[in-house]
């Protein structure tokens, strides 16, 4: 594995470990107040980013480099914002709601960039 695929997959491994640590903390403390934070770290950070990683590992040489790079960094930055924002929000700090909203819109935008990267590959035929 190399390049963007490797970066996405490596970050997914890190998020998976962090998300499970949070899950364990929730279970042990019997306080599930951060469930949405845990759920998003797991399904976005681990599962989605692992899929992106595998996708780029397969199509590394086919995808437009600049767009793929934009997807990587917009996804990483907005995901970090989303998770930190959710953590603050579910700690009772509702003043961070606009930050969560901004991060959410940015994450949605990063997914649209991924669609722009991946969709043309649906039209390509393998030899």
Contact footprint for ligand HEM (CB under 6 A): 20, 23-24, 26-27, 32, 35-36, 38-40, 42-44, 46-48, 82, 104, 107-108
Nearer to ligand HEM, 3 or 16 (CB): 16
CB of 6 to ligand HEM, least distance (A): 21
Nearer to ligand HEM, 28 or 127 (CB): 28
Give buried/exposed letters for 21-58 (b at 16+ CB in 10 A, else e). ebbeebeeeeeeebeebbebbbebbbebbbebbebbbe
Nearer to ligand HEM, 39 or 77 (CB): 39
CB of 12 to ligand HEM, least distance (A): 11
93 CA to centre of own chain: 23
Nearer to ligand HEM, 68 or 86 (CB): 86
Collect all residues with Cβ–Cβ distance below 8 Å to 47 and sequence separation of at least 6: 12
Quote the CA–CA distance of 126 and 87 in Å, as a whole number. 44
């Amino acid at each position: 594995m190399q390049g963007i695929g490797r970066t996405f997959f490596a970050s997914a491994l890190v998020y998976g470990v962090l998300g499970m640590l949070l899950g364990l903390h929730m279970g042990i403390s019997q306080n599930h107040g951060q469930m949405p934070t845990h759920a998003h770290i797991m399904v976005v950070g681990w599962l989605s980013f692992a899929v992106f990683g595998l996708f780029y590992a397969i199509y590394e040489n086919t995808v437009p480099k600049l767009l793929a790079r934009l997807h990587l960094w917009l996804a990483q930055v907005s995901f970090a914002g989303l998770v930190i924002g959710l953590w603050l929000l579910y700690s009772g700090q509702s003043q961070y709601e606009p930050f969560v909203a901004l991060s959410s819109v940015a994450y949605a935008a990063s997914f649209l960039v991924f669609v722009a990267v991946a969709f043309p590959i649906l039209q390509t035929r393998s030899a």
